[in-house]
Chains A and B, each alone.
Chain A
Amino acid sequence: MKTLLEKYRIPTYLFVLILGAVWTWLSAVPAGSTSAGEIPAPQEGFSAPDFSLRSLDGDTVTLSELRGQPVLINLWTSWCAPCRAEMPAMQRIHEKYRERGFVILAVNATNQDSPNSAAAFVAEHGLTFPILLDVDGSVSEHYHLRSLPTSFFVNSQGIIKEVVIGGPMSEALLQTRVDNLLAEAP
């Protein structure tokens, strides 16, 4: 004996396809339904949470003041081996791209480290990009830091384009991401 589906197979399939087309039309993206740029969150497609931190040099750096420039936010500590391993590649990328407006903000999770250890590491490797001190851990908290290092590639509109958890990031990875960020910059 035929089941209902077997008996009305073609009409059922057509009905399913029409239903799918109607749902596709009805669920077309309404304004504001996607989250890009609307809400600050440490996730791809969202606005990078703003922060102001003091650097090892004593300057204060505010993320939102860098709007218009692509930024790499790298959360690190001096005792974390993968963090240490990726810093030389970051320095080379910094030297290669800083003239084109690319900025690296290396945020030291100072609540898990110490300013002296950070400074010693920076001196040892001759790092010239800004080293920011997250003394109270607030940036680590806002960026949901769960593993070191964690890096956020932020475009010139302040939107996070990619999150890389763990490391070390290779130079090729850094270069391809920075090239993409610069290519989309107005």
Chain B
Amino acid sequence: MLPILQIGPFAVQTPGLVLLLGLWLGLTLAERLAPRYGSEANTIYNLSFTALVAGILGARLSYVLQYTDAFIASPISLISLNPALLDPVGGAVIGVFAAAVYGNRKQLRLWPTLNAITPLLAVLAIAFGLSHVASGDAFGMQTDLPWGIQLWGAKRHPTQIYEVILASLILWAILPPSKGRSRLTSVLTAETFWRFLALSAGARLFIEGLRGDSLALENGVRIAQIAAWLVLALSLWMLNKGAEQLKHETD
């Protein structure tokens, strides 16, 4: 665990640094691979940048709308650089909406574009895992297993490490697409994107069951697992639909 990296007089928050590095690496990889998914590198960069800027502004706006009184009392806080004044859910919704508007205006094809941004999402998933390693967040429940780690006063499942390992395997699994057939499946069905989503939902479903900080329903069922199961079901349904469509096209 290394939440702070001291560089001379500067204390850098390691989780944030890791996420920024992940964003940069993910964008670089996505731009490089974009032509293999039938997209242009510049388009993917502009789309991601639009979503990112809109997401950050939207996250602040959403937060301000939730706590208007606090910002009326202290208007200068509107431009505070503190990420604790952002609403991640609101930011994600507005970021996706901005990307959709951009894609519509540029008349981007949905499936190839989704495939082309998948490498970025896959690298970001690894970066999130590494940020949890650095911060000690997303920690596991207590265990006696020999690979348990001492964290927050107990021996725990190293769920952050599981997260990094599974996210790395998922990146490996979706890259690179095999030539020929994969190009066809990608263009027709967004197979890469749905495969990534199915694998990531499966990974979350598994890891969440070992977490020590889950939100749960009254009967103990973890809410994140229910969400992951639904995403998994949707992804498998889309993969199946895509496979049927591909079979129809190639017959």
Residues of A within 8 A of B (CB): 6, 9-10, 13, 16-17, 20-21, 23-30, 33-35, 39-41, 43-46, 89, 146-148, 162, 164-166, 169-173, 175-176, 179
The 10 A-B pairs with the shortest beta carbon distances in the complex, nearest first, are: A27-B209, A172-B77, A28-B220, A171-B74, A170-B77, A39-B153, A175-B70, A172-B70, A41-B152, A147-B11
> Does A170 contact B76, Cβ atoms closer than 8 Å?
yes
> Closest CB-CB distance, B249 to chain A, in whole Å?
15
Provide the bound-state CA to CA distance between A4 and B239, in Å: 16
Residue of B nearest to A80 (CB): B11
Q: Considering only CB atoms, which chain B residue lies closest to A33 in the complex? A: B141
Is B202 a contact partner of A164 (Cβ separation < 8 A)? Answer: no
Q: Which residues of A are found within 8 Å of B236, using beta-carbon distances?
A: 13, 16-17
B50 sits at the interface (CB 8 A): no
**Chain A residues closer than 8 Å to B220, beta-carbon distance:** 28-30
Our pick among A35, A146, A175 for the contact of B67 (Cβ within 8 Å) is A175
Nearest residue, chain B, Cβ from A177: B84
> Given A33-B142, A46-B152, A170-B74, A27 and B210 touching (CB < 8 A)?
yes
Minimum Cβ distance to chain A for residue B156 (Å): 9
- Which residues of chain B are within 8 angstroms of A9 by Cβ–Cβ distance? 240, 243
Q: Which of B3, B6, B73, B80 contacts A175 (CB 8 A)?
A: B73
Give residues 208-243 of B contacting A (CB, 8 Å): 208-210, 212-214, 216, 219-222, 225-226, 228-229, 232-233, 236, 239-240, 243
B4 within 8 A of partner (CB): yes
Please classify the interface of chain A as helix (H, G, I), strand (E, B), loop, or mixed, using the class held by over half of its residues.
Answer: mixed
Contact B212 A33, beta carbon cutoff 8 Å: yes
CA of A169 to CA of B77 in the docked complex: distance in angstroms?
9
| A93 vs B194: C-alpha distance when bound (angstroms) | 48
Determine whether the beta carbon of A20 is less than 8 Å from that of B4.
no
Chain A residue nearest in CB terms to B205: A20
Do residues A27 and B240 form an inter-chain contact, with CB atoms below 8 A? Answer: no
Quote the shortest CB–CB distance from B248 to chain A (angstroms): 14
Separation in Å of the A92 CB from the closest CB of chain B? Answer: 9
What CA separation (Å) do A148 and B4 show in the bound complex? 11
CB-based contact B205/A28 at 8 Å? no
Not counting A13-B239, A35-B142, a sample of 5 additional A-B residue pairs whose C-beta atoms are within 8 angstroms of each other reads A16-B202, A23-B209, A27-B208, A29-B221, A43-B152
Query: A1 to B11, alpha carbons, bound, how many Å?
Result: 57
A175-B85 Cα distance, complex, nearest whole Å = 11
Does B13 make an interface contact (CB < 8 A)? Answer: yes
| A172 partner, pick from B85, B136, B139, B216, beta carbons under 8 A | B85
